[in-house]
Amino acid sequence: MLSRAYTKSRKSIKEGEQSKSGSIHDYEDCLVGFNGDLPLISCGSGTNRGVRMTMKEVLRSSVGVMGESRLGLTDKVVLLKGDMFAVKRFRKLRVRRSEFGKRVERLAHFSTLCEYLVPITAYLYAKRIKFVLCDYYPMGSLADLLAGGRRLGHTALNWKQRLKILLDIARAISFIHSECPPNERNMQMNVHGNIKPSNVMINIDFSARLSDHGFTQLAKHIEVSDVQCQQKPPPLLENFYSEDLSQKSDIFNFGLVIIDVVAGSRFPAGFRKRSLDEIKEGAIGHCFEFAVEGRERRRALQVLDIALACTNPLPEARPSIQQILLSLGNACHN
């Protein structure tokens, strides 16, 4: 791994060009012939705050790609001292260097104010690579947990764990949507913009933290090549997620997350073609991929009803996040 850090890659990645490979070592030519090193700019947040890192150290410490989206890729980085981070590296930015730094630092400060958001530790803006360093969670993302269980044909999470995760996501969204002032430094601070299971990180106690807040305002969406898509099957409902930057789109996407968590692969692809009444009457059969009976089944149906309200085709008819939190709380106690 270390020897590769001094080996020039076969093809240089030009600024703004989409990476052809899933490895952070596509950027190894950043290191060749570079006498000094670039320090990462610390944001003073995260569990490893105060740790000083450089570009070389991070590039050499990547141990693999954890996820991929149209914004970029996420790598797991393990430093020599054992500190672990997630590196969010962007394919193509929307903003210039000075604006990038201002926005990341604002988002990093914001992440320290809510226990349900993933902290941002540091960032780097170099000629060929731009990335943000975030806290790492050994349990991985919600998407990984759900997909892993489905691949192996077993239930990765029980009903109580799923409900706890949904509540934590809703609390994170509530904190974001209540931000005042809503706009700062040319950014919409009161909108997340990219809520989906792959951006929900899970702690060992099955609490959840929402990541990537504001990242859609840092980087552009780039179409991922067919080769990259073949590396991992697309998540359930992936094509339904909205990319509009608004609170109502956040609510819609959270509704899709609820459907994935509560019903998953058992929910029909045309998720609005059948009503909740049909599910309750048994027309669809077993709509949950986890064992649930009696009172818990009634609660699960209540939560699924919330999801259908969130994914209403009319944005103005969708509930606010405060209404959703109230409904989830009622589902916990009914």
Q: Which of 64, 246, 288 is nearest to 158 (CA)?
A: 288
- Ranges 90-94, 190-194, 224-228: which has the least confidence: 224-228
pTM of the predicted structure, to 2 decimals: 0.82
Indicate the pLDDT class of residue 276, thresholds 50, 70 and 90.
low
Q: In the chain, what is the greatest distance between 2 CA atoms, to the nearest angstrom? A: 70
Beta bridge partners of 141: 201
- The tokens 């009634």 sit on which residue? 298
CA distance 190 to 160: 29
Phi, psi dihedral angles at 202 (to 5 degrees): -115, 130
pLDDT tens, position by position, 40-55: 999 866 555 555 788 8
Mean pLDDT of 272-285: 53
Q: 248 with 318: CB under 8 angstroms? A: yes
Enter the DSSP assignment of 213: T
Beta bridge partners of 202: 208
End-to-end CA distance of the chain: 54
Beta bridge partners of 209: 201
CA distance 42 to 108: 10
- The tokens 């020599």 sit on which residue? 80
CA distance 150 to 25: 31
Q: Which of 15, 9, 23 is nearest to 61 (CA)?
A: 23
As a whole number of Å, the CA-based R_g of the chain is 20
Query: What percentage of the chain has pLDDT greater than the value 70?
Result: 73
